[in-house]
Structure 1
Amino acid sequence: MKVTILNERLSNALAVVGRGVASRPQLPVLANVLIRSTAGGVEILSTDLEISFRIKVGAKVREEGEVSVSGRVLSELVGTLPAGPVDLEVDKDSLVIETNGIRSMVAGMASGEYPSIPSFSGKCDIEIGVEELVEEIERVGVAVAKDDARPVLMGVLWKFEKDRIRLVATDGYRLGIGGLRLSVEKEGLSKLILPARALLELVRIVDKQEVKTVLIKFEINKQQVIFKIGEIEIVSRLLAGDFPPFEQIMPESYSTRVLVSREELTEAVKRASIFARESANIVKVKMGDNQLKVSANSPQLGSSETGIDVETEGEEVEMAFNSRYLLEYLGVVRANKVIIESEGSLKPGVFREEGEEWVHIIMPVRVQS
């Protein structure tokens, strides 16, 4: 392999694929990236066997070839090089880097040892606008489980319903439901569970790319999904298992309904959370008579209560919630007003954005009076 590539392009590409380099690899080769030159340019790949990255970079290719070298070492080295063209050449199983009188060599492995990574080919199954996709992933993603006690809860359910995809995530204490609209009904797909990690990596990447749509292809037989963002591809395994029957906990009615300012509610919860740290982050929310009160009390720290003027329907009710769950939800709300619905102090709290179909459910906490 003999290529000349701009250092800026090489550095940016390594920053992308670096997300797929295993920090504690099961196999030594998984700490490496694979660099491959073809007539069309240079490809750089990485994988930890759960998620893989591929990026195509424009370069002047004088000789085709490939090599596998340490992703960390190469990235650190490239970060020290001056701007401008860099020459890359394979010498046996090592990569030689030369520019402006600097010559470095990074030891590598035979490229044949590197795992095979599928590439995006043929037509896509779905094409989604970047803005819509990112917004829905961020909204639903706050409800994803953070530990692997139940691996299926570390994913987001994609349920295909005629001309839309229902997105669902839960950690057992809260439930986020969103959706993506499809231009045409997608046949042959029912339910898939996509790892939240892959979706969040997708959000990070599209935020830095000037693209308007993301192409998605499902390899059902291989239990894989491939995202294509411009010249970048992300390949991820689908999660196996049964997603919890979320429909069963969806309340069908409410006895109390409140319309409250998102900004005022956020500030009130933040204030109360200061005094809730020693009591499992529990804050109380009392709703009724056109008032919503958020409070917390600690014998050691003190107390806080904030009253907010709101629009209410139905009975007075007091509920207790984990303040962290409330703040994470409010952090991804786009609307100025939030609707809170409840059937009682120990029933699920239903949160909606005014004018939006998206629903977020938070289970209340039982507390002593």
Structure 2
Amino acid sequence: MKFSCLKSNLNPIVQLASKIISTRPTLPVLNNVLLKTDRGGVLVSSTNLELSMSAFVGAKVETEGGITVPAKLLAEFINSIPDEKISLEFKDSRLEVTGANYSAAFNTIDMDEFPEPPAMKGEDKVLIPVPVLRDNILQVALAAAADESRPVITGVLMVIDGKKFTLAAADGYRLAEQKVTLSEDSGKSNLRLIVPARGLHELHRLLFDAGEKDFVEVSFDENQALFKYKDIQLTSRLLAGQFPDYQQIIPKKFASTVTVERAEFSQAVKTAAIFAKDSASVIFLSADPAKKTLELKASTSQVGENNISVAAEITGPGGSIAFNARYVSDMLAVTTSAKVSLNINDALSPGVLIPDTGAGSLYTYVIMPIRT
């Protein structure tokens, strides 16, 4: 195998492929990325057996073939060299990468050992606008569970029903739901897929620079989903099981609504969290309609305490509630709205943060209170 291409074409694909690699692979070849000549170019592939990626890179192919090389080492090397034409050649059991003033040789593993993702059975397809996925994945995936004792809640529920598109995740401590009205009917009726959160994080990375008017082709069967954008495709296994009936957790009415500037509130939460590190990250929020303020407080007996006051518009009697600071900060970090509203009933009921996400979408973030 021998081919040449521009570093600027190969580098972003190799970087994406290297992110798929597991930190604890079960097979040596799973540390590697597959480079294989295809259609007058090169197909770059990687997998961790649950998530797979492949992408086509335009190249001048001199000799057909394929080989696997250490993914993270290749990605780091290519990223560090100048933006120029590079040559890659499989020679004497190693892959030689050369540029004008740079060269490297990588140990390899035969491409026959590289696992292929299972073929889809009776696949179905739907087109989703790029912004619908890219702009909403992070807002929802943050609420997926990290603990795999209940696999189904480590995923994100995706529901496609006509013009309605919904993403939802819940880990038992918080819940995030994003509803979007599509511009065109999807042609699907109550289609429900549970996609591992990590897979959607990689999809977001893939779509980061995608065009606003482009579409993602989503193919699926009962076991896996394939997301295709131009010459890049990402295949993820689907999670089996019944996703929790999260709708019953979302309060329908609120006693008080507290509206604050998002940036100011975010900074206040981060500051309060400094004093909450040794007290399970608990921060106390008190809404005072008379003072028109939302006061944040955190304390640790061994360190001290702090108090922060944020200007707020308050409807209702106000009140106090305690949250995990990280759960609040996570939400404020993934929305860009100028203001957010904290909706509460009492100290023992869930609180709901809602940003101004614009027309056509509705984002709801529920946090369970901490009883003190």
Q: TM-score, normalised by structure 2?
A: 0.87
- Residue of structure 2 equivalent to 1:362: 367
CA distances 1:8-49 after superposition (whole Å, capped 9, x unpaired): 433333222111233322112212221111233111111111
Segment drifting more, 73-82 vs 29-38 = 73-82
Runs of 4+ with >6 A deviation: none
- Residue of structure 1 equivalent to 2:228: 228
The answer to whether the 8 A contact 1:39-1:64 is kept is no
Q: 1:129 to 1:87 in 2, by over 3 A?
A: closer
Seq. identity, %: 33
The answer to whether the 8 A contact 1:156-1:168 is kept is yes
- Residue of structure 2 equivalent to 1:302: 304
Q: 1:98 to 1:274 in 2, by over 3 A?
A: closer
Deviation of 1:58 (Å): 0.9
Q: 1:123 to 1:310 in 2, by over 3 A?
A: same
Unaligned 5+ residue runs, structure 2? Answer: none
Q: 1:332 aligns with which of 327, 334, 359?
A: 334
Q: 1:306 to 1:31 in 2, by over 3 A?
A: closer
Q: 1:323 to 1:39 in 2, by over 3 A?
A: closer
Segment drifting more, 298-307 vs 242-251 = 298-307
Deviation of 1:174 (Å): 0.6
Q: 1:75 to 1:303 in 2, by over 3 A?
A: closer
The answer to whether the 8 A contact 1:272-1:294 is kept is yes
Tell me the secondary structure at the aligned position of residue 55 of structure 1: strand
Q: 1:313 to 1:43 in 2, by over 3 A?
A: same
The answer to whether the 8 A contact 1:67-1:90 is kept is yes
Tell me the secondary structure at the aligned position of residue 13 of structure 1: helix
- Residue of structure 2 equivalent to 1:341: 343
Deviation of 1:169 (Å): 0.9
Deviation of 1:157 (Å): 0.6
- Residue of structure 1 equivalent to 2:201: 200
- Residue of structure 2 equivalent to 1:51: 51
Deviation of 1:85 (Å): 3.2
Provide the rounded CA distance (Å) in 1 between the counterparts of 2:82 and 2:343. Answer: 58
Segment drifting more, 109-118 vs 59-68 = 109-118
The answer to whether the 8 A contact 1:198-1:236 is kept is yes
- Residue of structure 1 equivalent to 2:38: 38
Tell me the secondary structure at the aligned position of residue 360 of structure 1: strand
Deviation of 1:127 (Å): 2.5
The answer to whether the 8 A contact 1:280-1:322 is kept is yes
- Residue of structure 1 equivalent to 2:151: 151
Task: Tell me the number of residue pairs that the alignment of Structure 1 and Structure 2 aligns.
Answer: 364
Deviation of 1:73 (Å): 4.3
Q: 1:268 to 1:63 in 2, by over 3 A?
A: closer
